[in-house]
Amino acid sequence: MFRSMLVRSASPVKQGLLRRGFASESVPDRKVVILGAAGGIGQPLSLLMKLNPLVSSLSLYDIANTPGVAADVGHINTRSQVSGYMGDDNLGKALEGADLVIIPAGVPRKPGMTRDDLFNINAGIVKNLSIAIAKYCPQALVNMISNPVNSTVPIAAEIFKKAGTYDEKKLFGVTTLDVVRAKTFYAGKSNLNVAEVNVPVVGGHAGITILPLFSQASPQANLSDDLIKALTKRTQDGGTEVVEAKAGKGSATLSMAYAGALFADACLKGLNGVPDVVECSFVQSTITELPFFASKVRLGKNGVEEVLDLGPLSDFEKEGLEALKAELKASIEKGIKFANQ
């Protein structure tokens, strides 16, 4: 994705070629909104979305410091026009006419914090932003990055239901960073070209609810059971690894921004009619008994075109699937309860 985005856009001809690399010959106008654009994830995500030639209008919103981010990013010589909005009074203006809303807003994890410790702060932020989305751009696709995703996606769903705007095809929990990590770790142990590796990751987006399906990885590398278990644990603990390495100075922001930009690009391609766009995401689902679940999803003009089933699992993955259900169910119910208080 990013190789073509980072080619310097020197001429209209080259711009045309760039766009064709992403979708069809005539690329429709698409407004993308980032809520939380001045934060640790929001700033690099704003940069990466400014580099995406599928975006015609980039709307950046935060409670503070947005004008500076917008001015900085706005000087980059790519297609999209950039607008910055700051404070509650301007949230509606930021959202109006959006095709895609990405939400990295909220506080980051700090050492010793679980994703549940984040809950009370971030749940309130997501609730208020969801109310605004329902009012100002109810047709937009929503990409939820704010943690804990296992709870914030159900919160948004409940808020949209109350507003009468809920469409389960348009709400996504962004679990792409789990996929990015699984690919990186698997390729590293397999001596494979990471660009050619694919690993589906299912379940949720916290700890043991993250279940990488290394048995379905391609290409297959025939790693030992012990190594698969170690790679699974490292994928589940990837966020903690970064929090500890940053020693209290932040969480996974750069890799999360990259993963968020990848998933947003997939959503835009789907909206534009590019066929066979499949990514893992935490969505409303019937493939397990849980109301939300992350699995492969085919993206299209309406958002979710099809939620794909899990496929064949190894015995280790079957055990992991059963083990994650109680925690994921509790996190989903916690979000629903919060939204209805």
Q: List, by residue number, the catalytic residues.
A: 205
Among the listed residues 45, 94, 47, the one whose alpha carbon sits nearest the alpha carbon of residue 74: 47
Rounded Cα gap, residues 109 and 116, in angstroms: 10
Spell out the SS3 assignment of the chain. CHHHHCCCCCCHHHHHHHHHHHCCCCCCCCEEEEECCCCCCHHHHHHHHHCCCCCCEEEEEECCCHHHHHHHHHCCCCCCEEEEEECHHHHHHHHCCCCEEEECCCCCCCCCCCCCCCHHHHHHHHHHHHHHHHHHCCCCEEEECCCCHHHHHHHHHHHHHHHCCCCHHHEEECCHHHHHHHHHHHHHHHCCCHHHCECCEEECCCHHHEEECHHHCECCCCCCHHHHHHHHHHHHCHHHHHHHHCCCCCCCCHHHHHHHHHHHHHHHHHHCCCCCEEEEEEEECCCCCCCEEEEEEEEECCEEEEECCCCCCCHHHHHHHHHHHHHHHHHHHHHHHHHCC
Residue 197, both tokens? 């590796």
